[in-house]
Amino acid sequence: MAGDRSPTEERTMEKIVSLCRRRGFLFQSSEIYGGMNGCWDYGPLGVELKRNVKDAWWQDMVSRHDDSRPLEGAPASFEMVGLDCTIIMHPQVWKCSGHYDLFHDEMVDCRETKKRYRFDQIRARWALAKGRRVCIAVIADAEEEHEIATARAMKHFRLRAKNAEELSWDGEFFGLDELGDTSEVLAPDAKEVGTLTEPREFNLMFQTNVGAMVDADATAFLRPETAQGIFVNFKNVVDSSRVSIPFGVAQVGKSFRNEITPRNFTFRSREFEQMEIEFFCHPSESAEWYRYWRDRRLSWYHRYGLAGEHLRMREHEADELSHYSTGTADIEYAFPFLAEGDFGELEGVAHRGDFDLRSHSEGKLDPSSNPLTVQRGEDGKPVHRGSGKDLSYRDPVTNERFLPHVIEPSAGADRATLAFLCEAYTEDEAPDDAGKLQSRTVLRFHPRLAPVKAAVLPLVKKDGMPEHAQALYRELKQEFPTYYDEKAAVGRRYRRQDEIGTPFCITVDGESLSDGTVTLRERDSMEQRRVSPDEVVSIIRDAIRG
Residue 359, classed as helix, strand or coil, is helix
Question: How many angstroms from the chain centroid is the CA of residue 4?
Answer: 23
HSE-up of residue 158 (Cα within 13 Å, Cβ side) = 10
Q: Give CA–CA dist 542/256, Å, rounded.
A: 37
CB of 46 to ligand GAP, least distance (A): 15
The beta strands (E) that lie in 354-448 are given as 393-394, 401-402, 405-412, 425-431, 437-443
Based on CB atoms, which residue is closest to ligand GAP, 48 or 356? 356
Based on CB atoms, which residue is closest to ligand GAP, 416 or 518? 416
Q: Residue of minimal CB distance from ligand GAP?
A: 412
**Span interacting with ligand GAP, options 1-9, 48-56, 357-365, 411-419, rule CB under 6 A:** 411-419
For position 257 contacting ligand GAP by CB under 6 A, the verdict is yes
Query: In sequence order, what are the residues at sequence separation of 6 or more whose Cβ sits closer than 8 angstroms to the Cβ of residue 198?
Result: 108, 181, 182
Strand-pair partners of 247: 79, 280
Based on CB atoms, which residue is closest to ligand GAP, 223 or 523? 223
CB of 224 to ligand GAP, least distance (A): 7
CB of 330 to ligand GAP, least distance (A): 7
CB of 261 to ligand GAP, least distance (A): 10
Exactly one of 43, 229, 353, 412 binds ligand GAP (CB under 6 A); that residue is 412
CB of 102 to ligand GAP, least distance (A): 12
* Helix (H), strand (E), coil (C) string for 437-499: EEEEEEECCCCCCCCCCEEEEECCCCCCHHHHHHHHHHHHHCCCCEEECCCCCHHHHHHHHHH
* Helix (H), strand (E), coil (C) string for 269-313: CCEEEEEEEEEEECHHHHHHHHHHHHHHHHHHHHHCCCCHHHEEE
Write out the binding residues for ligand GAP, residues 258-277 only, by CB under 6 A.
Answer: 259, 268-269, 272, 274, 276
Based on CB atoms, which residue is closest to ligand GAP, 235 or 268? 268
For 339, phi then psi, to 5°, come to: -65, 150
Q: Give CA–CA dist 443/22, Å, rounded.
A: 14
Write out the binding residues for ligand GAP, residues 270-309 only, by CB under 6 A.
Answer: 272, 274, 276
What does the buried/exposed string (b/e) look like for 219-253 if buried means 16 or more CB atoms within 10 Å of the residue's CB?
ebbbbbbbbbbbbbbbbebbeeeebebbbbbbbbb
Residue 528: Cβ within 10 Å count? 13
| Amino acid symbol at 132 | R
Strand-pair partners of 425: 443
CB of 356 to ligand GAP, least distance (A): 9
HSE-up of residue 199 (Cα within 13 Å, Cβ side) = 18
The C-alpha angle 18, 21, 23, rounded to 5 degrees, equals 105
Question: How many angstroms from the chain centroid is the CA of residue 238?
Answer: 29
CB of 272 to ligand GAP, least distance (A): 4
Based on CB atoms, which residue is closest to ligand GAP, 223 or 440? 223
CB of 405 to ligand GAP, least distance (A): 15
Q: Give CA–CA dist 484/457, Å, rounded.
A: 6
Binding footprint of ligand GAP, residue count (CB under 6 A): 19
Write out the binding residues for ligand GAP, residues 190-229 only, by CB under 6 A.
Answer: 225, 227
Q: Give CA–CA dist 386/403, Å, rounded.
A: 15
CB of 533 to ligand GAP, least distance (A): 41
Q: Give CA–CA dist 110/302, Å, rounded.
A: 42
Show the binding pattern over residues 413-442: x = contacts ligand GAP (CB under 6 A), - = does not: -xx---------------------------
- Residue of 415, 486, 452 lying closest to 49 (CA atoms): 452
Based on CB atoms, which residue is closest to ligand GAP, 29 or 370? 29
For 455, phi then psi, to 5°, come to: -125, 135
CB of 319 to ligand GAP, least distance (A): 18
Based on CB atoms, which residue is closest to ligand GAP, 227 or 459? 227
CB of 97 to ligand GAP, least distance (A): 9
Based on CB atoms, which residue is closest to ligand GAP, 353 or 458? 353
CB of 303 to ligand GAP, least distance (A): 18
Based on CB atoms, which residue is closest to ligand GAP, 39 or 167? 39
Based on CB atoms, which residue is closest to ligand GAP, 209 or 325? 325
Show the binding pattern over residues 314-353: x = contacts ligand GAP (CB under 6 A), - = does not: -------------------------------xxxx-----
Query: In sequence order, what are the residues at sequence separation of 6 or more whose Cβ sits closer than 8 angstroms to the Cβ of residue 330?
Result: 313, 314, 316, 345, 346, 347, 348, 349
Based on CB atoms, which residue is closest to ligand GAP, 92 or 410? 410
Exactly one of 411, 456, 465, 508 binds ligand GAP (CB under 6 A); that residue is 411
Based on CB atoms, which residue is closest to ligand GAP, 118 or 530? 118
Residues contributing to the site for ligand GAP (CB under 6 A): 225, 227, 257, 259, 268-269, 272, 274, 276, 345-348, 408, 410-412, 414-415
